[in-house]
Structure 1
Amino acid sequence: MINNDTIVALATPSGAGAIAVIRLSGENAITIAQKQFKSVSGKQLTKQPTHTIHLGHIVDDTRTLDEVLVSVFKNPNSYTGENVVEISCHGSNYIQQEIIQLFLRNGCRMATAGEFTLRAFLNGKLDLSQAEAVADLIASDNEASHQIAMQQMRGGFSSEIAKLREELLNFASLIELELDFAEEDVEFADRTQFKDLTARILSVLKRLIDSFAVGNVIKNGIPVAIVGEPNVGKSTLLNALLNEERAIVSDIAGTTRDTIEDEISIGGIGFRFIDTAGIRDTKDVVESIGIKKTFEKIEQAQVVIYLFEADVFVSDTKKSKLLNIEIEKIKNKYPQKPLLIIANKSDKLSDVQFSELNKALIHISKTGKKTQAQMLSAKTNHGVEQLKNTLLSFVNTGALKNNDTIVTNTRHYDSLLKALEEVQKVKYGLETGLSGDLLAIDIRQALYYFGEITGEISNDDLLGNIFANFCIGK
């Protein structure tokens, strides 16, 4: 699949800036760059050692395009494992395009999306899971997702999978050897040790599979739906959480008629807050559509914040009973979703009312592990930080603190599930005395799924799907 031609692309974001980096990779990268580069000291790039930087000019015949710095990386000690040249030029769009077009006319081909990292994988500089972590690192927008991507790019996940695969492969070899001596009825693979190994592999696989629930929300952010009746302060709360005037706030009920979304990082975890239309009976067609979307967003959310007015709750008995019924409906309909019941506008309460309502909220919090209740005033920001801490407590970040491997990639998760199924078959076969040839089939399948993760087993379609999601220049 790998091409021996030389590719070129802009490695920094497109658009004008102070500096832009243009990258070349391939067997002839240094030779091609040399033809268009005039060093101020008269040096020849082809004769310079690897990992050196040179000042000079990019020229097109007699026309000077720009003064640049050229970095030289010789194979195999480069990102792609090939000869690589990186040209740091001024960030004018015109200069960038002129230099790229110059190299395209002189022996280079435009790189496809992710082709530099693809070449790194095909040349053995990265395994497939590490290559995928490069894309995750570029896309990381909070501390937690950055930490996970860095760990995987450094080979934390790969080394764990490789170790399991190696141990399983050693026993597979002994099982295969037994098949060669089937007529002599000998056992080279100690079945007791093999049972211990399968138990250990199953334990690791289950831990990695379980980590995906945390890893997926860390990577993609945790959607939080803010719901409640009209005019209870949902938009004010969203603005308080984001610390900006993101949503329109007014005293008119039904102001928010569509969902408004924005994301912030709390404790290194991304939370995507969704301000929804107030839930009520209405004949307004547009508002009705907004309310319908509210329930759709509750379905999609992983955490639900139910907001109500504290002062109305303590002063209107009929309203408080209806509110309790509504809360129970949400708890019963979405029993797996963490529910935060928030009494807003606490600044309007007297000291006695505040104390009484606080007791009621403490009682609500004790009704279930996934239900928490508190008071706040979105208008004055009182209690907003406590709310953020409560949201963070719903996320199991213990694995991050312990630097345990966390799975964030759906493809890896799928392969781990399939590997788990095959290893469970091996375990059952050992317990029931299954013959070596049948055990060998299940072991080979487990090894296949382990190899899929690291790229030891891959195909052009798989690689095409993975690297198509990369940016050009990486």
Structure 2
Amino acid sequence: MIQNDTIIALATPSGAGAIAVIRISGPEAIAIASEHFESVSGKKLGNQKSHTIHLGYIKEGANTLDQVLVSIFKDPHSYTGEDVIEISCHGSSYIQQQIIQLFLRNGCRTATAGEFTLRAFLNGKMDLSQAEAVADLISSDNAASHQIAVQQMRGGFSNEIKVLRSELLNFASLIELELDFSEEDVEFADRTQFKELLKRIQKVLQGLIDSFAVGNVIKNGIPVAIVGEPNVGKSTLLNAFLNEERALVSDIAGTTRDTIEDEISIGGIGFRFIDTAGIRETEDIVEGMGIKRTFEKIEQAQVILLLVDGPQLVSGSQKLRNTVLDFEKLKNKNPQKPLLLLINKADMLSKDDRLQINQHLENVHFISAKRGIGVDELRHSLLNFVNTGALRNNETIITNTRHYNSLLKALEEIEKVQFSMKENISSDLMAIDIKEALYHLGEITGQVTNDELLGNIFANFCIGK
């Protein structure tokens, strides 16, 4: 997949702006740029040092396209490991296209999605997990996902994998050597040390695998379903979380007939709130479809908020008993999910009302979605459901599904090797399992790869990165 041509793309978002950056990378990048750049100092780009910036004009013959700043990054000290030119021009869409088209006519090719980062990987500027972290960093929309992406881009995760793989590779070499001298019945690999290494690798891999549960929700946002009967204030609560009129609010029961979703950041963690249709018996076909979707969203949610109308709750003992039953039913059906019972319109409840509710229900949150009472406390409660200890301690957290699958396969092979050691199974069979473990660890960092894998990974990048 190594390319020897010169590529070009817009590195900033398309559209008009104050400035735009056009990136060129490849063996002819400096030469091509020099042909169409006239420095105000009269100097030629090809004679300038790396990591310098030059003011001048992009010209096509006698025609001046724009006044620009040109940055030079020479091989190998650049993002891609090739000669790189970055042109900072005025942000007119017309100017951007005129400059790009000029270079396309004179030796450049349009870069494909992620091709600059692909070249950085192929030229050894970063490994594959670091390259994937670049995409995660670009798409990060909260502090937690940003922190994880930065740590991975710096090589924290890949360094752990490389060390483990290197130690395992060393023992694999010794076992392969034993096979060459199998008739002489000698052992080059210290079995006691090997057992300790396998135990350590298993512990590290299991820890990384376990971290995916946290990393996945941090990366994709934690889905929170707001459920309850019609007209209890679910849409009002969603609006209170978002501080905007996102959902339509009405005194008419059944206003929300479909799910409404939006995301906010709480303490640097993304939460995706889902306002669902009110649960009740109905003959309305459209409302019925919305209620069916409500139960689907409950299944998908990580956290469930059951909202109840406070004044209705204390209006009769039967209503209170039904709420207790509903709460227990929802909790039993979703035993692994945090479930919060929210008593809405708490500003309309007396002290005696609250005491009555507390006698029948435990750990309730009294709120007023309309007035914003108790909403901040509710945000803190939601944040407590996320295990951010590993994040605070800068521990490695896995967010990438590809990495997760490779770790699972590597752990499976390591456990096979441990079983072989325990049962004194022949070294040649054990060597096969060690090779498989090395292969799956190598997949993560790109020490083992293929064109199809690289194509799938970099196709998800934006053009220009």
Q: What's the TM-score bracket when you normalise by the shorter of the two chains?
A: over 0.9
1:424 maps to a residue whose letter is E
Q: Are residue 430 (structure 1) and residue 424 (structure 2) matched?
A: no
C-alpha separation in 2, matches of 1:33 and 1:139? 31
Q: Distance in 2 between the 1:329 and 1:357 partners?
A: 18
SS at the partner of 2:314?
helix
1:48-63 matches, within 5 Å, as 48-63=48-63
Q: Report 1:12-161 matches (<5 A).
A: 12-161=12-161
Contact 1:262/1:273, CA 8 A, preserved across alignment: yes
- In the other structure, the counterpart of 1:368 is none
Alignment map for 1:358-369 (pairs within 5 Å): 358-361=358-361, 364-365=362-363
| TM-score, reference length from structure 2 | 0.99
Cα offsets for 1:237-276 (capped at 9, x unmatched): 0000001111111111111111111000001000000001
Kindly provide the amino acid, as one letter, of the partner of residue 265 in structure 1.
S
Instruction: Give how far 1:360 is off.
Output: 4.1
Letter in 2 for 1:459: N
Encode CA deviations 1:302-350: one digit per residue, 9 max, x unaligned. 1111000112112221111111121122112222221111111100001
Counterparts of 1:288-367 in structure 2 under 5 Å?
288-361=288-361, 364-365=362-363
Question: Is 2:421 aligned against 1:413?
Answer: no
CA distance in 1 between partners of 2:310 and 2:8 (Å): 62
| Unmatched tracts of structure 1, length 5 or more | 366-372
Partner AA of 2:269 in structure 1: I
1:159-214 deviations in Å (ceiling 9; x for gaps):
00001001101101111111121121111100000000000000000000000000
Matched, 1:211 2:191: no
Q: Aligned-pair distance for 1:277?
A: 0.7
Matched-pair identity in %: 72
- Cα separation, 1, equivalents of 2:136 and 2:242: 25
Which residue of 1 is the match for residue 430 of structure 2? 439
- Determine which of 388, 395, 410 is the counterpart of 1:397: 388
Provide the C-alpha distance between the structure 1 equivalents of 2:258 and 2:188, rounded to a whole number of angstroms. 68
The within-5 A match list for 1:198-277 is 198-277=198-277
**Which residue number in structure 2 is paired with residue 184 of structure 1?**
184
Please, which of 366, 374, 384 is the counterpart of residue 375 of structure 2? 384
Shift of 1:408: 0.3
Pair 1:280-2:280 in alignment: yes
Measure the CA separation in 2 of the matches of 1:428 and 1:195: 11
Residue aligning to 1:195: 195
What is the one-letter code of the residue matched to 1:18? A
Distance in 1 of aligned mates of 2:17 and 2:359: 57
Judged with a 3 Å threshold, the aligned counterparts in structure 2 of structure 1 residues 383 and 359 are, in CA distance, closer, same or farther, namely farther
> Aligned partners of 2:300 and 2:424: how far apart in 1?
47
Tell me if structure 1 keeps the 8 A contact 2:114–2:464: yes
Please list the CA deviations of residues 377-402 of structure 1 after superposition, one character each: whole Å capped at 9, or x if unmatched.
11111110111111111111110011
Distance 2:157 2:365 in 1: 39
Distance 2:17 2:437 in 1: 49
1:46 aligns to what SS in structure 2? helix
**Equivalent pairs, count:** 465
1:11 paired residue number:
11
Separation of aligned partners in 2, 1:434 and 1:180 = 17
Distance 2:358 2:458 in 1: 54
Gaps of 5+ in 2: none
* Structure-1 separation of matches of 2:21 and 2:463: 13
> Contact 1:358/1:374 (CA < 8 Å) preserved in 2?
no
TM-score, structure 1 length as denominator?
A: 0.97
Distance in 1, matches of 2:418 and 2:351, equals 64
C-alpha RMSD of matched pairs (Å)? 0.9
CA distance in 2: counterparts of 1:435 and 1:326, whole angstroms: 59
Counterpart amino acid of residue 17 in structure 1: G
Contact kept in structure 1, 2:304 and 2:337, CA below 8 Å: yes
In the aligned structure 2, how far is the partner of 1:157 from the partner of 1:29? 33
Find the aligned partners of 1:357 and 1:97 in 2 and give their Cα distance: 66
Change beyond 3 A, Cα 1:359–1:392: farther
Runs of at least 4 residues off by over 2 Å? 354-361
Which secondary structure state, in structure 2, belongs to the residue aligned with residue 315 of structure 1?
Answer: coil
Q: Verify the 8 A CA contact 1:8 1:108 in the aligned structure 2.
A: yes
Aligned equivalents of 2:178, 2:36: Cα separation in 1: 63
Output the amino acid matched with 2:423: T
Shift of residue 5 of structure 1? 0.2
What is the Cα deviation at residue 358 of structure 1?
A: 4.0
2 CA distance for matches of 1:34 and 1:316? 84
SS at match of 2:282: coil
Aligned counterpart, 1:369? none
